[in-house]
Amino acid sequence: MDAVKYDEFQHFTYDDYKNWEGRWELIEGVAYSMSPASYPKHQRVVAYIWRELSSNLDSGNEKCEVYISPTY
């Protein structure tokens, strides 16, 4: 007897996504609500981590760069 796959998520299309308000991601048909803008404490932590990573990469021979993703 074959097992039946239970799909607990409703699947959406790009046309659905285009009409939504707010910040959403659509990944393989599953909608994910994006978190609101980050708090100052979170931004300080992100800045600290970026500074540490960047300074460590700059001191070596690594061909890497560190980027901070934008928040909307």
Q: pLDDT for 35-71, tens place per residue? A: 777 788 988 998 999 999 888 887 777 678 888 876 5
Between the alpha carbon of residue 20 and those of residues 23, 28, 63, the distances in Å are: 8, 17, 40
Kindly tell me if the per-residue pLDDT of 23 is higher than 70. yes
Would you say residue 2 lies in a domain?
A: no
Q: What is the pLDDT of residue 39?
A: 83
Would you say residue 54 lies in a domain?
A: yes
Tally of domains within the chain: 2
E-strand ranges in 1-72 read: 24-27, 30-33
Kindly tell me if the per-residue pLDDT of 3 is higher than 70. no
Q: Are residues 56 and 70 in the same domain?
A: yes
State the residue range of the domain holding 65: 37-72
Average pLDDT over residues 10-18: 92
Cα separation of 24 and 33, whole Å?
A: 5
Q: Are residues 45 and 32 in the same domain?
A: no
Q: What is the pLDDT of residue 6?
A: 54
Cα separation of 39 and 43, whole Å?
A: 6
